[in-house]
Structure 1
């Protein structure tokens, strides 16, 4: 069975940055399960997997545009320190949930001074080229419920 829209796909993968540093891997874990065509994984990897079948292996490079996007400077903001009332110890690397017009958004503290806390709302991999090594473990039909929910259920997928 070929990977196409509305198929459940199980893959083992390793992803590295351009410096060859390991970002993530499924090695030693259950395969990653996703519903093809529903943007459950980055679009560049999904495109590379289209038409593949069980047992296929591939190496693919995903640009920032088809991965986690380019770094958006407007997502880096200086916030007055007094907006962090009740938090005694703010440190670089801490994550907070910011309330935006589009709903909650995760930001990371990147700098602190006496008056301001600089936060970055970009995805940590924004601007990164991703190098994937992938093996297709299984391809199956999606259930009606998985299609309705837009993700895989059960082992390797979402549990309700």
Structure 2
């Protein structure tokens, strides 16, 4: 079979790992993910690494924070007065909740809860981390036409 080229539709398995080795995504226990190269469906660095590979081959891509989920931005950790929040339950540190930030709904992590305020973190939970992706080409699908 011919190797992967731009425009191919692939079936891929991903293993995503944090710097401490913790796996936070592993598609091997389920169906592979279908992506078409050149359609902005996956990180461009993944596409670049997959070109020339053949089914069964695996590549490892290490993304620094700025190429993965962004740098951790301290200004995205804010304390909000409880009276400004509309919550249907008592928030718990570590929980994801939906709040409005500058007029837009946003999923944030609860950092701290006091009687009068809630501290939230609007960074992506993986912001600031270098992430390692192990990507296996499960198959190259035939082109339509």
Using structure 1 for the length normalisation, give the TM-score: 0.74
Q: Number of matched residues?
A: 144
- Matched residues in 2 for 1:52 and 1:18: separation? 26
- Matched residues in 1 for 2:71 and 2:127: separation? 5
2:73 aligned with 1:72: yes
- The 3 A distance-change label for structure 1 pair 3 and 94 is same
Which secondary structure state, in structure 1, belongs to the residue aligned with residue 31 of structure 2? coil
Aligned to 2:91: 90
How far does residue 11 in structure 1 lie from its aligned partner after superposition? 0.9
Q: Contact 1:98 / 1:105 at 8 angstroms: preserved in 2? A: yes
Residues 100-119 of structure 1: pairs in structure 2 closer than 5 A:
100-101=101-102, 103-119=104-120
| Unmatched tracts of structure 1, length 5 or more | 144-160
1:25-69 deviation line (CA, Å, top 9, x unaligned): 012110122232344334443332234332221222111111111
| Unmatched tracts of structure 2, length 5 or more | none
How far does residue 121 in structure 1 lie from its aligned partner after superposition? 1.1
How far does residue 5 in structure 1 lie from its aligned partner after superposition? 4.4
93-102 vs 52-61, which deviates more? 93-102
